[in-house]
Structure 1
Amino acid sequence: MNKLTIAALFLGSGLSFSACADTFAGVYVGAQGWHTGVTGGYADSENTAAFNFDDKTNSSFYVAFEHFVPFVPNAKVSRTTMDSAGTTNLTTDFTFEGNTYTANTNVVTDSQMTSTDLILYYELFDNDLVSFDLGVNGKYIDGTFSVEDTQSATSGVKDFSGIVPTLYSRFGVGLPFTGLAAYAEGSYLSFDDHTLSDYQLAVTYSFIESLAVDMTVQLGYRNVSVDIEDLDGAYADLEYDGVFAGLELHF
């Protein structure tokens, strides 16, 4: 057996192992920067006020693990920041954490909120042309709402956290041999008095596809709507939306 034959067999074995490894198990790691516009408001009762918020760049990180074991779901964990702040001239009286802010008062509002998602899902279709995932998402919302009167320095802070279960799905299409693809991904459900939706639409381009790692850039739009009623004593009707850019690694 000559050296050329041995090299060909070694290369073929390596390609076969890589293909099998990718079929049997794969890890996806991604990060996104999200330019966010925010509308709505919050309170510690049902009487929420509408606030003005400045645009802000938020971030999102995720890790997903896919495998070949039958009946065992794949898993994805993601964490998204949804921070916002602004100054509002109140049009009506507003009560928050025991303090009353009268109409025509300027208040500074600051919302620090994160969403940590634990997603369990099945791949119903998965090929170069079409993919479709379906599962459930336990969304853990953790945050702090604050309001401060700019003149009197009167302020109030409300901490809260809780889990909101949602449905999860992802649909993707691809153009084979081009590196181009697109996907729609979302979590959504109305549960008790909470209504929450989180969806994104994006086009992607895989600019590196190798035996060791695939690298893909993403460009898309994301919308998160958070309507919570007495989640650990917090009430909110907030909508976050804007464009995002991201990078994903597939091992």
Structure 2
Amino acid sequence: MGYFITVEQNVNIFVEDIDPGQGKPILFLHGWPANHKMFEYQFNHFPKLGYRCIGLDYRGFGKSDRPWKGYSYNRIADDIRIVIDTLRLESVILVAHSMGGAIAIRYMARHGGHKVAKLALLGAAAPAFTQRQGYPYGKTKEEVNKLIEDTYTDRPKMLEDFGDIFFERYLTESFKAWFQSLGLEASGHATAMCAISLRDEDLRQDLVKISIPTGIFHGKHDKICPFVFAELLQAGIKGSKLIPFEYSGHGLFYSEMKKLNKEIAQFIVS
């Protein structure tokens, strides 16, 4: 079932609520530059286990409205808080990929983990996506600036090139075309603005504010968010558990979908 939730005047967020019954809710936060449909192979699985799966498209992505402003981690975290409160969710399992992982961390710090029981970070773009003083990890700001420039000049080619380093394993041409189509559903401006947030945001001070059970699921061959990110997250989030994926790059939700689904299910009940 799909519907819209108003998060501020003239801004509506699209939500897909799969099997909205009495099951424990899992809220999925998608990565850049896709939308909630990237979790298709999780949405096929977890309702069979009795969970209520909820996906949303950030402002500017998928079917959500496309305002000119509002693409900071703070604003998107606030949108998520409104969705959770509007749906009256309790004991949420937050499953978040890439930029979604960064936004989930900001949500936990900014909103005190409001209504979230467990946090699963998948290839998270955190503690910081780009290199800076005291943090020699990730992409350079110049590399992200090139992504932003390419978004504004040839977005289809940018998405194609980004997709080429997203997955570690062989993909059919049909799958690659489908995955690229998710990025094309977004606003080009929103895609660029969120890349600016990826470039500039720093979550190192947010990590100590997370006190719930946290699972860190990360591909060993990730070319977008290198595996060292996962090690830094484990060191920074007290009591967190790191689960490496030996045969995955950034797209572990597909490359090792069976292992990921199994590991998330075990994490939820542990």
TM-score, scaled to structure 1: 0.24
**More helix by percentage:** 2
More strand by share: 1
The TM-score normalised by the length of structure 2 is 0.22
